[in-house]
Structure 1
């Protein structure tokens, strides 16, 4: 949700966000600085740019450019090292929010419910066409799922102690740094929570998106825990799926490919079809 500019001559990447997001941007800058001081395998702010830069209605952070080899794609196993390093921290000297995926989901549902004009019309027509339901009925179904998960999360038996977590840990957030070390970027969701949450995307990718199961097995061996065999798996899987279903709902108009895939995903949550494959949004 940022505008990102690569400035080759300056050797930096600029991430710009609306000024309304200044609290998050400030926190991300502090997290990146703290991780850098600790030598963690994470993306670095550009030298001398530890503070965000605000101008008009925008606020930006400036990061060291890490050019990547053409066609370079990281595998899930490459996540293990950065995540183990982050999870070794019970806290850092930055005030971090508590992990709250259901709060984020509820916020997205409220945003979708408050749409007006053409955005509301598109979403209402989509709900009726795809499911024979009103938009309110679809959103009520998702709210019910959210409420059920809130109860289930209270009863989860955690394997690992709470720690600093990345919060959005997937291979697409990995980069090679200038020394060839694998580092993780996109620190917007860093929080205090269950490390198991960072292990879910790799396991869920093998379940829903047709990712090579051998990649997840290698990731689990390298990290030291197979989350799909843990007591938290079923609940966290359902949280992840609800997150992936709700993330695009408020911004669906003008994105026909996303709207079509969202309908497939939502249909499987309505029917409880766990084994149905999903496609990634394009």
Structure 2
């Protein structure tokens, strides 16, 4: 089996926990001092962490931010099982064995990237947005959650066409970067669109003139049903679409092939590994 070239850039580091904060909904944001990973990380890539010395199997977690100058990375994760429960007990000052960055990143090709993140699929979208903040690209970010967001939503200072009345809540960090963002949830949250992220994305797309809509590319990460809906939305508007998949994995570096998924790359489907052939794939090839 051919080894993807990016596998040669994976670093093994004894990363120090700088900060570790808990948020409602069993969500946590951890900052790690991992300079080699931070220098190489790209949006869509992840790290493979040893969550506890007594647990040999690592856990994959998407990179939300990376600062090459200061050598840190930020990770957002949700406590869902034994591994992440053990991770929640780790404190600032402790060290975690860290492999990363791993995987194929997003490739931003369109002038107006529409970034859709749901739940723990939000981090890659934040990473993309930060990477584009000083570029000629014009990103639009839509984030969704069915538990409280791992930040305090605030009214946005950026006016957006196509938004329903009262839908003004944003992620403060994105507003500080002057990047338009709106939030969606089926829960009752002030200023947040009540519904699916893809429904809110449709409202935004319909507000664009034809020429502007032709400059849009869709990028998504989140639960499988959300990704399927995002690809259906892209197909409806004839947009290019990339999706980041989340799968259970053992080795995380392509050796075990335990995270393989079916991808339509030609006349017949093939099995590809989410860890190194992905996690980012052409959405039409995954949801053919």
Question: What interval of TM-score do these two structures reach, taking the shorter chain for normalisation?
Answer: under 0.3
Higher-helix-fraction structure = 1
**Quick check: which one's strand share is greater?**
2
Higher relative contact order (CA 8 A, sep 6+): 1
Q: Normalising by structure 2, what TM-score?
A: 0.26
TM-score by length of structure 1 reads 0.26
